[in-house]
Amino acid sequence: MKLATTANLLSLSVLLSSSAVNAAGIVRRAENRDVSDWLMTEVPFAVSRLLAHVNDNGAVVAGAVEPFPNDGKYQEYWLRDGGFTLLAVIDHYKTNPSQAIVDKMNAFFEWTKKVQKSARETRDPEGRLPDHLRQGWTKFSLNAENPKPVINWGNPQYDGPALRALTFIRWADITKEYGKYYAGDLNAFSVIKTDLEVVGHALEETNGIEPWEEIAGVHFFDLAISYRALIDGADFALARGDKPAADFYRLQAGKALIKLNSFWDGKRIKATLPDTAKPGGNEGSISKSKQKYHIDVATVYSFNHANIPTFPHSHPQAQATFAQHLRAFTTPEFLPNFDGTRVTSAWWAGINAELSLNGRPANPAVGRYPEDVYDGTHSNYKDTAGAGFWFLATNAMAEFLYRAADAHAQSGVIEVNNVNGEFWNLIKVPKMANGPWRLTRAEQPATFNDALARLVDHGDRFLRRTQKHATKEGYLAEQFRADNGFQQGPGDLSWSYASVVTADVARRAALQHIKDVPTPVDTCAVVSDSEKTDCAPEPNVTVGSCLLRGCCWEKSAMAGVPWCFKQALVVGDPKPSSTATTVVATTTVSPTPTISLPSCEVQDAARRDCGYPGINASQCVAKGCCWKQSTPNSRTPWCFIAV
């Protein structure tokens, strides 16, 4: 038995939509069990590491803690890293409460009071922080009784107080100990109001430092996180009877929201307004400022953690920004145009040319920004070994896709146009050959739900990338090398673990929308080597330029087999009513043949191989074959037809 090829296509989506039961009689759903199984062990481990990073004094240590040796790197308390760490812990606590988390949060509360007092008492000798904005210090020493701000550093950073305010707002909403964390009297120095005041008054500042502490200016991330802290803070203050403060916070949040609209340049939402950017000594950031692309994963973090009403994950501009970030690490398009004497990372080669984990599809890894040279030690071209990919960045891409699935599920609409076309090319949902299209759950439910499942599946592909380069125990450093995938930079980074936890939270929400949806057909895996048609005949095609045009990518050692090839086409729902836009395939598709599968309950000797190396259960069933595991190393195929 041979199923339709790309020239004579079986309507796989119709076949799979007709039944959620595969040939072996096992109920399927659009959930990748391998990713779920990994998260079942990795998330508890990540939470344990996050708690380990909160020391006995309540300080959140950014760098390695026991059992790792103290290597001297990141052995300080960063407001931002601490915020992301504890926000992830709080997310976990909502479904997994524990006294250990309560104890750590109480310790952090006591630590915060000391840090805020120290900030109030420390004037900036360089004049970067006005006296009324002294909570904008970036990081502090770990001195138990008198933590001091680090003056000779990238100051000020106003996203730190915003994240810390959000941390205590969300924790207070859980514990109901509102008076412990908030008081309307400024002189009471309550931890939440102290931070909200500096966030609200810092909006007009133009010298804030972005998350990587390399460029001063006006940044999308700072404004987005400030917006979220202020809008949540306004609701919180009003509920505590502090209406004047609530009105001020809401007013300032509105100003931040308006400013966020100025970062779109026609292709992406820029991380920094170029005419405000002033780079420091990091040579990568200098290149970033000169080139003015300002592609940065901090913008993806803004979407994930600020819940911006004007830029939901379903917004074409947000999706275009996601696609541009992926392009930046899978093509040479955004690298500095040097003379060849300085080291830069070939993001699109090395590990990003291999898109699999244990035979299952994985997505490329990403880093902070494409001009990056920081290898965890050196930030200049002369000495760097080449910047690596970052776990926290790769996991943020996964989280974005899960949240996009959730956003589209709630709206019931998917809009595709010339702004976000590359994003949907990556996801590979059936679409029109030319022009924009609109997909609704009401008019085309099967195709719409398939699109949601594909968003989740591609999020899982980013998490498989993290799984591939994590240690067997689950430890995550800051980076992993672009050439060989080995971890580099400071080990055991708290923010890396936080990014796994928040991605898992977003994934569990997204899975609720597709629990009854059939497994989506992998339109690349069903194309055999003999059927692969070149999708990008130009000689310099890379993994990114291939995927973002809607093609498939797989390296091959066989001569004549294209690495970038056309996907199998999947027919969408039947034509809807005349009031809806139709989603059509890009080529003519033959009528769906009738398939009559033989019984799969046969002896091993009666199995004829129907798969290919690395095929998984969903890919096997998508081919119309049987799937049943057998004794390892028995040479009995798991994907087969009965003879």
What is the per-residue pLDDT across 123-152, written as a single tens digit (0 to 9) for each?
A: 999 999 999 999 999 999 999 999 999 999
Q: How does the average pLDDT of the chain come out, rounded?
A: 87
- 298: helix, strand or coil: helix
pLDDT at 258: 98
Task: Indicate the number of domains in the chain.
Answer: 1
Q: What is the mean pLDDT of residues 53-63?
A: 98
> Over 182-209, what HEC string results?
CCCCHHHCCHHHHHHHHHHHCCCCCCEE
Between residues 145 and 582, which one has the greater pLDDT?
145
Characterise 102 by phi-psi region: left (phi > 0), alpha (psi -120 to 50), beta (else): alpha
> Over 322-379, what HEC string results?
HHHHHHHCCCCCCCCCCCCCCCCCCCCCHHHHCCEECCEECCCCCCCCCCCCCCCCCC
| Contact predicate 379/282, CB 8 Å | yes
Between residues 491 and 613, which one has the greater pLDDT?
491
d(CA 615, CA 624): 13
Place of tokens 């104890």: 103
Model confidence band, residue 572 (pLDDT cutoffs 50, 70, 90): very low
Percent of the chain with pLDDT over 70: 85
d(CA 105, CA 30): 37
Closest CA to 494 of 77, 32, 72: 77
Does the residue 531 lie in any domain?
no
Does the residue 337 lie in any domain?
yes
Range(s) of the domain holding residue 358 = 33-511
Does the residue 320 lie in any domain?
yes
Does the residue 358 lie in any domain?
yes
* Residue count (the chain): 643
d(CA 39, CA 43): 5
Q: Which residues does 216 contact at the CB level (< 8 Å), separation at least 6?
A: 154, 207, 208, 209, 276, 277, 278, 280
- Which residues, listed in sequence order, are joined to residue 54 by a DSSP beta bridge? 60
| Contact predicate 322/421, CB 8 Å | no
Whether the link from the prior residue into 69 is cis, omega within 30° of 0, is: no
Question: Dihedral, CA atoms, 145, 66, 506, 465, nearest 10 degrees?
Answer: 140
pLDDT at 71: 86
d(CA 498, CA 393): 11
Does the residue 469 lie in any domain?
yes
Does the residue 627 lie in any domain?
no
d(CA 380, CA 416): 41
Closest CA to 367 of 358, 154, 350: 350
User: What would you report as the CA-atom Rg of the chain, rounded to the nearest whole angstrom?
Assistant: 26
| Contact predicate 469/362, CB 8 Å | no
pLDDT at 618: 54
d(CA 182, CA 430): 51
Q: What's the Cα-to-Cα distance from 486 to each of 9, 139, 212, 353, rounded to whole Å?
A: 41, 29, 22, 15
pLDDT digits (tens, 9 = 90+) for 494-516: 999 999 999 999 999 999 999 99
Is pLDDT of 603 > 60? yes
pLDDT at 534: 95
Place of tokens 């074409």: 316
pLDDT at 598: 42
| Least reliable range by pLDDT among 161-165, 488-492, 553-557, 596-600 | 596-600
| Least reliable range by pLDDT among 188-202, 597-611, 621-635 | 621-635
d(CA 634, CA 595): 29
| Contact predicate 140/147, CB 8 Å | yes
Does the residue 572 lie in any domain?
no
pLDDT at 634: 57
CATH of the domain at 442: 1.50.10.10
pLDDT at 20: 36
Q: Is 161 exposed, middle or buried (0-12, 13-18, 19+ CB in 10 A)?
A: buried
| Least reliable range by pLDDT among 90-104, 285-299, 332-346 | 332-346
Does the residue 327 lie in any domain?
yes
Q: How many helices (H) and strands (E) does the chain have?
A: 18, 17
Model confidence band, residue 199 (pLDDT cutoffs 50, 70, 90): very high
Whether the link from the prior residue into 156 is cis, omega within 30° of 0, is: yes
Is pLDDT of 311 > 90? yes
d(CA 586, CA 432): 6
Is pLDDT of 538 > 90? no
| Least reliable range by pLDDT among 339-353, 394-408, 618-632 | 618-632
- Which residues, listed in sequence order, are joined to residue 609 by a DSSP beta bridge? 640
Q: What is the mean pLDDT of residues 607-631?
A: 63
- 487: helix, strand or coil: strand
Is pLDDT of 585 > 80? no
